[in-house]
Amino acid sequence: MNTNQIAHIASLVGEPARTAMLMELLDGRSLTAHELAGAGNVSPQTASRHLALLVEGGLLRVEQHGRHRYHRLASPEVARVLEGITQLAAQNAPAVRRAVVPGPKDAAMRMARSCYDHIAGRLGVAIAQHLVEDGAVVFEGEAGHVTDKAGAVLARLGIDLSASPAGSNTRRPYCRPCLDWSERRFHVAGQLGTLICVHCLDSGWLLRRQGMRALEITPRGVMALRGWMGQESWRQVTEGDAFPARQERRPMAA
């Protein structure tokens, strides 16, 4: 373990402007230096220096498309680290008395948002809970795997698991739990999480909100997802009620 390298990565993430730019990319988008300068509230020249350091440190990668250069997170592992820091920061934040209800942006983020390339928020947690309760997925600590029931359960959602065999990308877990910072419960990450997210977007069930991580659930999405997970689970998505304690009572499952 190279402690100097660890300290270097931590210092890259720890600068506020760079943190803001990294968080802006947490939904998996690719953005220009000009767009990221706005996110970090710095000049384009300062943003370019920050971005060069992040690329050099292996946190970002650059893609050239025509005349434009786009920056994105270098890997799902970077996104996982950022999400973990977000959760830790939320846990350690001092209690603040709020005089007003959080605005629409907060509500939308808590209902459904992208966590790099998978679904988070109440919708993501509800999807994970349904997969666990139907015996399609098992979470054990920080690991997860699909069972022989997964194909039938996901087929009812229109997803063909045979088109994406488990373990097809050996560098990335096929299925793993990702602790949701707003719900404090697990949603599905890994290749399976990406497969579900892409399917919902391609089917027109979810729409990306411009410039936001929040995902909009369309009327078609309401019909499809509510029909798949059931009315009770869907009510928890839309009304924000606490998820039932039975999810916590399952041995080694989220």
81-137 pLDDT, tens digit per residue, is 888 888 787 666 665 544 444 333 478 888 999 888 899 899 999 999 999 999 999
The confidence score (pLDDT) of residue 223 equals 94
Mean pLDDT over residues 168-191, rounded?
A: 78
Task: Please say whether the beta carbons of 218 and 204 come within 8 A.
Answer: yes
Least trusted range by pLDDT, from 115-129, 154-168, 196-210, 237-251: 237-251
Least trusted range by pLDDT, from 72-76, 84-88, 99-103, 159-163: 99-103
Q: Which residues contact residue 38 at a Cβ distance below 8 angstroms, ignoring those fewer than 6 apart?
A: none
pTM for this model (two decimals) = 0.65
Instruction: Please give the full DSSP string across 37-83, using - where no structure is assigned.
Output: HHHHTS-HHHHHHHHHHHHHTTSEEEEEETTEEEEEES-HHHHHHHH
pLDDT over threshold 70, residue 74: yes
Mean pLDDT over residues 194-217, rounded?
A: 89
pLDDT over threshold 50, residue 242: no
